[in-house]
Amino acid sequence: MLSSPRELTRHSRYVAASVTVPDPADDPTGYVGALLRLADTHGPGVLVPTTDEALEAVSAHHHTLAARHTVACPTEAVAQTFLDKRITSEVADRAGVEAPRTVSPDSYGELESLLERLRLPCLVKPAESYRYNRAFGVKMKRVHTPDELRTAWGEAHELGIGTMIQELIPGPETGGVNYNVYVVDGEPRVEMTSRKLRLSPRDFGYPCAVVSRVVPEVIEPGRAIVAAMGLEGFANVEFKQDERDGRYKLMEVNGRPNMSGRLAVRCGVDFPLLTYRHLVHGEAPVAPSWPEGVHWVNEFKDSRSLLDHWRDGRTPWLRGLRPYLSSGVFATFDARDPRPFLARVRDRVGTEKTAAPSPAH
């Protein structure tokens, strides 16, 4: 199902048919209606929301959709515990999972009353990530002064986008860790961890290079937050190591496939497949062993990030190239299924041509 004509999956050799549906962020009712109609025209299917906006729409109509399809996401009450990052912070506090100190002012007056107690620099983060990213094109904003904080908080507030002001957890990009898990009846059945190497934009952006690593320190807090939320099925929990005390602090929880999900598949932990087999055939997920040192690279984002690392001397040349020289997988490119990659290249070239200034006459 496609909600944008630029989505690449329709080009895959493994796609037998694609259907265009309304954007779930702009028209959630139309999106859900299209899913219900698909049950009539194509028969029941397995619904796996892969974005927050799709998950929000599906979870809000979980009961209705589950009568026609197999739904691979939680109900609305559970989904809101991770979609609304303010609730995530509250759940983490009750569960005893360490997380950055967070406040959520509702008015300019409340913001002013908090300023004296806030330690700068800090982060202005959205309560609902996808709405913020659509409005500002970034995941969050780092602010250094009271005026920067007022501006960053105010521009989101004026658009009706809820935000949080969060303590900055100091540490390099390599301090970021993913804990991926599949839960059945409250029991973690399959677990895998990985470490982020580079982000785009750097420090507070989206991952563009990730490596499989055993990080035992995040297993217990990962299990604790997933249990406190009542999550079943797949979940991705993000942590960051605080360089001040070496402890891992919770950053966010995703109850849907994460961006670097192909890394787990490449390592033999095929979360999408085991989700399908569990929900459709009732097969109990079995935890496979998985190798360390396997890389996932967003080939369209990482090249620029790597150049920045080389320019400022943060990463030696050979170490920076390691994700490309060792066993791994790319975000889009696959020699067995190259058409999505080629379509993305065409889109990028077309975008650059459109953005280029016209020659002077």
Looking at the fold, whether 192 and 132 belong to one and the same domain comes out as no
E strand residue ranges, the chain: 46-47, 70-71, 102-103, 122-126, 141-143, 163-167, 176-184, 187-200, 206-212, 233-241, 248-254, 295-297, 328-330
CB of 214 closer than 8 Å to CB of 269: no
| Chosen domain end from 167, 193, 208 | 167
Give the domain-ending residue among 109, 133, 167: 167
Tokens of 341: 């990659």
Inside any domain, residue 79 = no
Which of 123, 145, 167 corresponds to the end of one domain? 167
Pair (55, 156) in one structural domain: no
Please check whether residue 258 is in contact with residue 210, taking contact to mean a CB–CB distance below 8 angstroms: no
* Same domain (yes/no): 148, 162: yes
Q: Is residue 339 part of a domain?
A: no
Find the CATH number of the domain harbouring 108: 3.30.1490.20
217: domain CATH number?
A: 3.30.470.20
Domain assignment of residue 357, yes or no: no
Are 190 and 311 found together in one domain?
A: yes
For residue 163, tell me if it sits in a domain: yes
Same domain flag for 159 and 181 = no
Distance CA 312, CA 232 (A): 43
Is residue 300 a contact partner of residue 340, using CB atoms and an 8 Å limit?
Answer: no
Same domain, 210 and 267: yes
Same domain, 285 and 323: yes
Q: Examine the domain organization and report whether 106 and 233 are in the same domain.
A: no
**pLDDT tens for each residue of the chain, 361 residues long:** 666 667 888 899 999 888 889 999 999 999 999 999 999 999 999 999 999 999 999 999 999 999 999 999 999 999 999 999 999 999 999 999 999 999 999 999 999 999 988 889 999 998 878 889 889 988 889 999 999 999 999 999 999 998 999 999 999 999 999 999 999 999 999 999 999 999 988 877 889 999 999 999 999 999 999 999 999 999 999 999 999 999 999 999 999 999 999 999 999 999 999 999 999 999 999 999 999 999 999 999 998 899 988 988 888 888 899 999 988 999 999 999 999 999 999 988 876 565 555 544 4
Residue 195 lies in a domain: yes
Tell the residue number behind the tokens 């303590």, with chain if given.
167
Q: 119 and 63 share a domain?
A: no
Residue 315: what pLDDT? Answer: 87
The DSSP code sequence of 222-251 is HHHHHHHHT--EEEEEEEEE-TTT--EEEE
Instruction: Classify residue 218: in a domain, yes or no.
Output: yes
Residue 350 domain flag: no
Is 337 domain-assigned?
Answer: no
Per the structure, how many domains does the chain have? 3
Residue whose tokens read 């779930």: 24
CA pseudo-torsion sign 353, 205, 222, 94: negative
Q: Does residue 273 sit in helix, strand or coil?
A: helix
- Distance of CA 278 to CAs 48, 78, 299, 333, Å? 13, 20, 32, 28
pLDDT at site 81: 97
Do 330 and 299 touch, CB atoms closer than 8 A?
Answer: yes
Location of structure tokens 């807090």? 221
Q: Do 182 and 304 have their domain in common?
A: yes
Same domain, 124 and 69: no
Could you list the residue range(s) of the whole structural domain that residue 117 is in? 101-167
Q: Are residues 188 and 300 in the same domain?
A: yes
